[in-house]
Structure 1
């Protein structure tokens, strides 16, 4: 066996928000991680601009939500505005529901904040080893039955036999500071290295979807725009001349526009001044310029043996609607408890197959929604052009081609439902409420059906049900004594929480029933009434963790 320079349970490739979130989640589970990032530091560019409600729920569980909110914009910035130029009045506006104000469906509120403000807090949230300026240049799976082909199944997994207890991955990492190659052995690799993922390309994993849509440029600049925007704050101002976004509460702006043909010789300050509008007369001081490609695809496979794709490496989502980074955060929240279970021995390796089974359909739905968002934004601009060509006054407003709640997208953000081996069938006759189809995107109707995110409901002492979940399984039941008499449930981490009787109808439970909640907050099983036999809970935990006597021995 080759000599190695470092070892880890999980090697994380990529130090963006998804990789950093995975590092924090895995550390909570006691999993040793090593994160490598090819760049020498965290990105100085603002990039993603929105942390949505579901991501804030995840960060609340990590104890990070208050800090993120403190560094973010005030809630009134949770709005988009459409203007002919930045110094004109709005001809349309829409709220980002769940960001501009609290919603009853969650105990937290999303925020408008720049990615470069989010990442330092994520970096500080864990102590796991991290190496900047370290690029993965080689990758090989070792260990007989642990080697996967990457060709099994439409869900993108290689089967549970591809991840036995004895295998590993040997990675070669180039340290750009020293010029030395370092060999790292890990039980698993989590690739969160972006839309141009070198890991995905090394594995030969293809993608489906439109692919590269267009080339864009982000210009970070300073200018005094307060007289046009202070009384009508927004997280995004859409104009026909590009998108303007305030970067930080204390100042700074970004301009997003298609990359010009002669970008290498562009006068960026002049271009931003022209985009602000004729005769704006505002001095523009350009700080940074970044060129990037808007991609739209989903990887054909999310798993290749012991290597798993996450974030933009697995799914690149267009920026309109702020869904990309948040989809990646929810994805690693789904994955990390499963990795921990396999590594700690209370889950079978087949549980990792459910990552792709559950998250790949979500990625496809999210991509469709983002494409729809983009088309609707273009529709707004076309309507405005037609209005002005028809002789309308510049102050005249137009009706948006979506409902006021459209950009909430809570049906997609909170209404995600999973069907996999990690979700057990329902013995309750409770109907699934109408409007819970995640494809609807906009409307969210809470339901405690198996596979769904457990709804936000009040518990004792003003706690939310969502505060009962963490690095353990949670049994919510109106009759804890009935379920505490079950046989021992070791080795699974489990907590039993009393559920107030007033929630029985909403949860589809009888007076002795129970909901078994997975560590990611999704309902793993629902039992309408008292357990059937003394080992019912143990059997349920074994089933939804794909555990067998072999794995538990």
Structure 2
């Protein structure tokens, strides 16, 4: 599964812009990035029009790895930007975890981010295998070392692949933004009384609800709910980048359709901690992914960090016959069936449903190239689809 998240998908950002960014690959595990810097129109200054609020050069909607990486890179290039995030807090759910060589090469340009990821990740011997088994303590059907020598030998790339949870990567990127002078604002009272968004701000709890393009700029209407009431802000920018995930509001507001295969599989994602299980797997069968088949349960376990006992369990989900609430009461039982024995220290952090798609946006650019889709907003893809197809559909009732 080696689940990865989308990083950047950008096309040419206007012929007369300061920055033209081209990207070919579309996930955190396979980022291909090059840019050229042409002095044609200054994007480094926010300038007012007719006495109104200044126009931001770039406004980014969505503070996942895509939006945060883009904001770091633009700031380092001297392009002023700001970020709006719908959620009031960053997710603690591990989500994506595999970062390949090309992405790590880009991270080298982000003030040592690649080196920090390599220092912080689990030892390679803890995550280089996929294991197929009847339970985590039962018979092993087979195991595969999914790493290639070129992933580590520094011949193809000067930096190795990595296994590092998305929320940890997000945290490191936020630290970088702060070092670059960004202010991450999540204080409800201050947000409610702040009528505009200025450069080098990451404002939490702001949802994009409308986009109005014009010849010279884009106006974004954002709403914030706090202190028992809501407020709205109009933010003007030269370019708007939608990095707001698979359910992208920016994409929907622009009327951009997705094409491909939808609703391939519905799953429940269970984030839990068990030091007991982590230590057992380190000693007996270390791996990144565990595909588990038995008569009582089926699932895929992602070992995000065996040292910390941090896991995400993916379980097939069949609504409307099943409800999310059904799993809340049975999840400890399901985990133990897949482990093959009871665990004394299971701590379930959260349970979330998600849907697997294989779709690409019909356009990545809109409104005269002033609105750009990036990351999962531009495409939604299944992790290692062929492996998942064989695993799930061979067991479907």
Alignment TM-score, normalising by the size of structure 1: 0.52
The residue correspondences of 1:156-167 to structure 2 (distance < 5 A) are 167=216
The residue number in structure 1 matching 2:62 is: 14
The residue correspondences of 1:9-48 to structure 2 (distance < 5 A) are 9-48=57-96
Once the 2 structures are TM-superposed, how far is the Cα of residue 168 of structure 1 from its aligned partner? 0.5
CA distance in 1, matches of 2:359, 2:160: 29
1:177 counterpart = 2:249: no
CA distance in 2, matches of 1:273, 1:252: 16
Question: Could you give the per-residue CA deviations for residues 88-124 of structure 1, whole angstroms, max 9, x where no partner exists?
Answer: 2432323233697435211111111111111011122
Question: Could you give the per-residue CA deviations for residues 3-37 of structure 1, whole angstroms, max 9, x where no partner exists?
Answer: 86564211101111111111111111111111001
1:211 counterpart = 2:268: no
Once the 2 structures are TM-superposed, how far is the Cα of residue 173 of structure 1 from its aligned partner? 0.8
Cα distance change on mapping 1:373 and 1:228 into 2, 3 Å: closer
1:233 counterpart = 2:286: yes
The residue number in structure 1 matching 2:136 is: 86
Moved more, 303-312 or 209-218: 209-218
Cα distance change on mapping 1:3 and 1:84 into 2, 3 Å: farther
The residue correspondences of 1:124-523 to structure 2 (distance < 5 A) are 124-126=175-177, 127=182, 128-143=200-215, 167-177=216-226, 179-223=230-274, 224-225=276-277, 226-240=279-293, 241-248=298-305, 249-259=307-317, 261-266=322-327, 267=329, 268-277=331-340, 280-283=341-344, 284-304=346-366, 305=368, 306-320=370-384, 371-375=385-389
Cα distance change on mapping 1:272 and 1:142 into 2, 3 Å: same
CA distance in 2, matches of 1:2, 1:270: 64
Name which structure has the greater RCO, CA cutoff 8 Å, separation 6+: 2
Question: Could you give the per-residue CA deviations for residues 294-338 of structure 1, whole angstroms, max 9, x where no partner exists?
Answer: 121000000002100010010111122xxxxxxxxxxxxxxxxxx
CA distance in 2, matches of 1:245, 1:7: 44
1:57 counterpart = 2:105: yes
1:67 counterpart = 2:116: yes
The residue number in structure 1 matching 2:189 is: none
CA distance in 2, matches of 1:230, 1:245: 17
CA distance in 2, matches of 1:99, 1:44: 32
Moved more, 304-313 or 68-77: 68-77
The residue number in structure 1 matching 2:164 is: 113
User: Based on CA coordinates, which of the two structures has the bigger radius of gyration?
Assistant: 1
Q: Report if the CA contact (8 A) 1:75-1:101 is conserved.
A: no
Once the 2 structures are TM-superposed, how far is the Cα of residue 190 of structure 1 from its aligned partner? 0.5
Alignment TM-score, normalising by the size of structure 2: 0.72
CA distance in 1, matches of 2:373, 2:51: 26
Q: Report if the CA contact (8 A) 2:223-2:231 is conserved.
A: yes
Question: Could you give the per-residue CA deviations for residues 253-295 of structure 1, whole angstroms, max 9, x where no partner exists?
Answer: 2211112513213322222222223xx1223331211111112
Which structure has more strand as a fraction of its residues? 2
* Count of aligned residue pairs for this structure pair: 306
CA distance in 2, matches of 1:252, 1:98: 27
Superposed CA RMSD: 2.2
Gaps of 5+ in 2: 1-48, 183-199
Q: Report if the CA contact (8 A) 2:89-2:204 is conserved.
A: yes
CA distance in 1, matches of 2:261, 2:94: 25
Q: Report if the CA contact (8 A) 1:246-1:253 is conserved.
A: yes
Q: Report if the CA contact (8 A) 1:10-1:32 is conserved.
A: yes
CA distance in 1, matches of 2:361, 2:283: 42
1:45 match: secondary structure:
coil
Q: Report if the CA contact (8 A) 2:224-2:232 is conserved.
A: yes
Cα distance change on mapping 1:3 and 1:94 into 2, 3 Å: farther
Once the 2 structures are TM-superposed, how far is the Cα of residue 229 of structure 1 from its aligned partner? 4.3
Question: Could you give the per-residue CA deviations for residues 72-95 of structure 1, whole angstroms, max 9, x where no partner exists?
Answer: 111121322211211124323232
Question: Could you give the per-residue CA deviations for residues 429-462 of structure 1, whole angstroms, max 9, x where no partner exists?
Answer: xxxxxxxxxxxxxxxxxxxxxxxxxxxxxxxxxx
